[in-house]
Each structure stands twice: as structure tokens, then as C-alpha cells.
Amino acid sequence: MSASIHANHLIIGGGSMGLAAADYLAGTGEPSVQVLDAHSPPHDQGAHHGETRLIRLAYGEGGRYVPLALRALERWNELERETGESLFLPTGVLNLGLASAPFIQQVQASANQFDLPLEVLEGPTVSQRWPGWQLDERIKGAFEARAGVLRVERILECWRQRVDRSENVTLTTGAQVVRLETLQAGGYAAFCADGQRFTADRLLICAGQHVSPLLAELGIELPLTRVRKTFAWFEADQRYAPKHFPGFSFTDNDLGIYYGFPDIDGAGFKIGRHDSGQILAPGEPMAAFGAYPEDFAELQQVIDRHLPGVGAFRHGAVCQYIRSPDEHFLIDEPLPGLIVAGGFSGHGFKFASALGESLGQWLASGRAATELTGFGLGRFRGNVSP
Ligand SMILES: Cc1cc2nc3c(=O)[nH]c(=O)nc-3n(C[C@H](O)[C@H](O)[C@H](O)COP(=O)(O)OP(=O)(O)OC[C@H]3O[C@@H](n4cnc5c(N)ncnc54)[C@H](O)[C@@H]3O)c2cc1C
């Protein structure tokens, strides 16, 4: 076995959350930070590929996310200014669903609580304004003009470049952590599949599908499930250009829950399903797009009913959600100096810029970030609601 490498702070998983935290710490000059990733981010083996992610502010998953989303948007704008890259496209986001849908009601409640601009429209009015949609009066639209699209992979590239240039943060790729250990003198050791050993005073674990098995090594059981998710790009006419068609979420009692994007940079109209999916064990190989008949059929049924200018299928892809039982994040410090950030349940990326800051500050100061209370494990033990 090779000699051990010591750092003040160790981040396991250099994906969305890990690189965001590393980038924040690179900017603060915090002494020695070591990041370990099993692959070479950005890559397509986790949850951060597929070109685009939505950012919404009037939050259908709960008002408590709104301050975090607002901070995240500030930080995305900051990253754009600092790098000179186009990372956020202000396409607006249209949340569509039955007026009675809890998600739509919560979008409106979040907007009211935080005084966020939101236009509420009947289905036929939505279709007049955005002819890419064909909707009847049962559907309501809640449009948020400030929301939009994040270029996820480009963002990870920016963070990676800044981390690579920094003097205090080291990213080691191809470093798959297989075991953790608490050290008698305090701190933690991480063992990699290739025999490398890293030690640190404080540890942040944001290793997607491996958060749960790595914590189990330390006797901490996390209720997280890995789910295979599919999405695809289609030909589309001019109605789906970013200036004519906002990003969207669509909640339907019969069809399910979907999200999608305008045709950005000629990539095609993109749509994915948010609910359902196939449960996989950590490490289990994921079947390619098309392995299940529903991969294509469930996307096509929404297109056939509601999206008249979307044409031929171009290509599809698979990705993974790491779901918690209530689909809220799981962020906690279950052992002193060991912070865990996982269970992002398919809606975490928009917050990564703000979470990177909070998690980075938590690592550096040793003090729990107050904005993250409520995401803790305690709620699964029945004593805190998110
Ligand atoms: C199809 C799809 C669509 C989505 N759409 C949206 C959206 O529109 N808006 C939104 O906000 N969110 C969205 N999300 C969710 C969002 O992308 C995720 O919540 C977020 O990327 C999770 O970040 P993460 O850091 O936990 O995971 P990742 O970015 O996957 O990072 C985890 C990292 O850990 C590394 N790793 C894993 N195991 C180990 C190990 N043992 N040792 C070392 N390294 C390891 C991996 O290589 C990876 O780089 C979507 C997700 C998917 C899959």
C-alpha cells in the first residue's frame, strides 16, 4: 500500500456538490483541501451530464428552499461574471399542472411567501403565448420569468479549471473510495480501490450513489435509493427556440411528472420524466436508453398530446437520481467533522452554487450551516420535519 496523504479537509466525490465546495474553498485560500473522484469530472457516470438543468425559484417542493435558490442564482451570476462564460440562460420556467396539483399550489405559495414575481395563466392562454404548447382549460401555468436553464457540464468544467489552477485544492481523479475509517487521534481515513490512503481532520462525503454504502461502513444507515432515469432530445420547429419556449415542469395525474428544455444550441427539444424509474443497487450497471419500452413511450405520449411542433426522436440518455424517502435533501454531520450531502432526489443541481458555499464554510469553520438545518437525518427518526 502507498503512503498516506494528509489534508485538512477531504471531499469525497468531485461532482456537482463536491466541485462546488472545492471551488468555494479554492477562492478562500483555506489550507490543504483534497478532493477524490472515482472518475474525471465532468463525466456521465453520476448525475451531472445531459447538458442542461432547470433553476426555479418559486419552489414547488417547499418554501424553505426559496432563500437557497435565490442565493444560488446570485452565485451563478457571479460565476458567469468571473469566468466570462454563458452558464445561465434566462429562458423563464413554466410550471404546468392541474390547478388542484399540490406542486402548482406550492409554487404559488412559495411566490406569495417570498414576494416572487409569478404569472398564473389558464391553459389556453399559455398556448396562445407559447404556441409550442397545446393545453386545455384544465391545465394551469405558473410562469416565472427570472428562472431558466443552467449549462451543467460547462459549469463543472469551469469549477474544475479553477480548482486545477488553485494552490490549496488538489483533485485526484480515478480515485474510487471503497472504505472509510475513523482515526483514534481524531479525523478520518479514506481508502481507495487502488490502495491509496488519504487522511483528513474533516470530511465531506458527496459521492452520489456511494454516500450510503460508505456511511454504512461507519455504522450509519442512510435511507437513500438509487434510481435509473431517462431523458431524450427530439427534432423541433422554431416554436421551441429559447426565445419562444421556456423551460418547464409538467405534472399530470395520468401521464406523470415531466420537465423539459427549449432547443438550445441546436441540440433539440429535451424532455425527461421526473417520477418513476428503475431502482438499482449502488455500483450496479445501468441499462442504456431504450432498454425498457417505456423509456421512449412515456416521453412520446406527452409530445403527442401537448407538444405539436416536436418531431422525430434524436437520441436518449440515462442518468441517476439518489432519492430520499421524502425527496428532500439529506445534509447532516452524523459524526463530528464528518459532513454528508446526498439524497438530492433529482432536484439538487440548481442549488449547487449555494450549497458549495455553505458546505465549504461548514468544512472550514466546523460549524453547521444554519441554512441547512431541516435537511438532517433526524427527520427520518421522527423528530424534525423538513
Ligand atoms: C436526468 C436528470 C435531470 C435532472 N434535472 C435537474 C434539474 O433540472 N434541476 C436540478 O436542480 N437538478 C436536476 N437534477 C439533479 C441534479 O443533477 C443532482 O441532484 C446533482 O447533480 C447531484 O449532485 P451530486 O454531487 O450529489 O452528484 P454527482 O454530480 O453525480 O457527483 C457525485 C460524484 O461522486 C463521485 N463518486 C461516486 N462514488 C465515488 C466513490 N466511491 N469515490 C469517489 N468518488 C465517487 C462520482 O464520480 C461523481 O463525480 C437532475 C438529475 C438527473 C439525473
Q: Please report the atom of ligand 1 found closest to the CA of residue 37.
A: 44
Whether residue 53 lies inside any domain: the answer is: no
Asked if residue 371 is part of any domain, the answer here is yes
73-83 CB burial, b ≥16 within 10 A, e <16: bebbeebbeeb
Query: What's the structural domain count of the chain?
Result: 2
106 and 235 fall within a common domain: yes
- In this structure, the residue with its CA closest to atom 13 of ligand 1 is 347
Q: Say if residue 127 is in the same domain as residue 236.
A: yes
Report how far ligand 1's centroid is from the alpha carbon of 62 (Å): 21
Residues 232 and 276 in one domain: yes
> What number does the ligand 1 atom closest to the CA of 45 have?
47
Ligand 1 binding pocket includes 41 (Cβ within 6 Å): yes
The boundaries of the domain holding residue 349 are: 4-48+153-222+327-378
Q: Tell which residue, 47, 22, 280, 293, has the closest CA to residue 161.
A: 22
Rounded to the nearest angstrom, the distance between the alpha carbon of 368 and the centre of ligand 1 is: 22
Q: Tens place of pLDDT for every residue, the chain, 386 residues? A: 567 999 999 999 999 999 999 999 999 988 899 999 999 999 999 999 999 999 999 999 999 999 999 999 999 999 999 999 999 999 999 999 998 999 999 999 999 999 999 999 999 999 999 999 999 999 999 999 999 999 999 999 999 999 999 999 999 999 999 999 999 999 999 999 999 999 999 999 999 999 999 999 899 999 999 999 999 999 999 999 999 999 999 999 999 999 999 999 999 999 999 999 999 999 999 999 999 999 999 999 999 999 999 999 999 999 999 999 999 999 999 999 999 999 999 999 999 999 999 999 999 999 998 889 899 999 998 644 44
Q: Which CATH number belongs to the domain containing residue 217 in this structure? A: 3.50.50.60
Nearest ligand 1 atom to alpha carbon 345: 19
- Cα 54 → chain centroid: 9
CATH of the domain at 314: 3.30.9.10
Question: Rounded CA gap, 252 and 64, in Å?
Answer: 24
132 and 250 fall within a common domain: yes
Query: Is the C-beta atom of 263 inside 6 A of ligand 1?
Result: no
* 333: number of Cβ within 10 Å: 20
- Look up the pTM and report it: 0.97
